[in-house]
Homo-oligomer: A and B are copies of this chain.
Amino acid sequence: MIKALLSALLVLVAVSSAFGKYIPKTGKRIPQTLSRGWGDQLIWAQTYEEGLYWSRSRNKPLMIVFHLADCPHSAALKKVIAEDNDIQKRLDEDFIILNLMYETTDKHLSPDGQYVPRILFVDPSMTVRADINGRYRNRLYAYEPADLTLLKTNMDAAKKLLKSEL
């Protein structure tokens, strides 16, 4: 009898814990990560303000990737960046990183317009490095999957920090 009661209790506990967590009408969702697939093992800043803060306090350049979920060019670039261990290691160790799907209010982050994918570097002195760009004249901050070597060269350039005026 006690055994039966205990069993019933166990079932009750199991049922109530199954119903314990909120589940959306449309079904369970996979929580969205800050990486959004650009490097799941890396530590991403959430906002531009946060990125600037970490860049200044750790004296590392900030790399910002603007992208969109339904943009095939963004997806192609994401794939090669996420799969390139050399870039992932450099981003992890030498950069503060941020990926954004919505533009900020800072116009310095769109020197030649708002498009995706677009990669901008910001010096710890909070200067946007508009001088570091890719190979396309009409979209200076765009990169294609074939441009990874140039991107690495540009990362090296961003690592040479600007002298802050004293």
Q: A-side interface residues toward B, CB under 8 Å? A: 20-24, 28-29, 31-35, 39-41, 43-44, 46-50, 53, 85, 88-89, 92, 100-105
Query: Which B residues touch A39, using CB under 8 A?
Result: 22
Cα of A79 to Cα of B83 in the assembled complex, Å? 36
- Beyond A22-B39, A24-B92, A49-B103: 12 further Cβ-contacts under 8 Å? A22-B41, A22-B89, A32-B33, A32-B34, A32-B43, A46-B46, A46-B47, A47-B47, A47-B100, A49-B102, A50-B101, A53-B102
A-B contact pairs, 21 of them (CB 8 A): A22-B39, A22-B41, A22-B85, A22-B88, A22-B92, A24-B41, A28-B41, A29-B43, A31-B40, A31-B41, A32-B43, A32-B44, A34-B34, A34-B46, A46-B46, A46-B100, A47-B47, A47-B100, A47-B104, A49-B105, A50-B101
Give the residue name and chain of the B residue nearest to A84 (CB): B22
Q: Which residue of B lies closest to A54 (CB)?
A: B102
Nearest B residue to A103, CB-CB: B49
Q: Please, which residue of chain B has its CB at the minimum distance from the CB of A29? A: B41
What 5 pairs across the A-B complex have the smallest Cβ distances?
A: A22-B88, A50-B102, A31-B33, A22-B85, A31-B40
Q: CA–CA, A89 to B100, complex, Å?
A: 27
A19 shortest CB reach to chain B, Å: 8
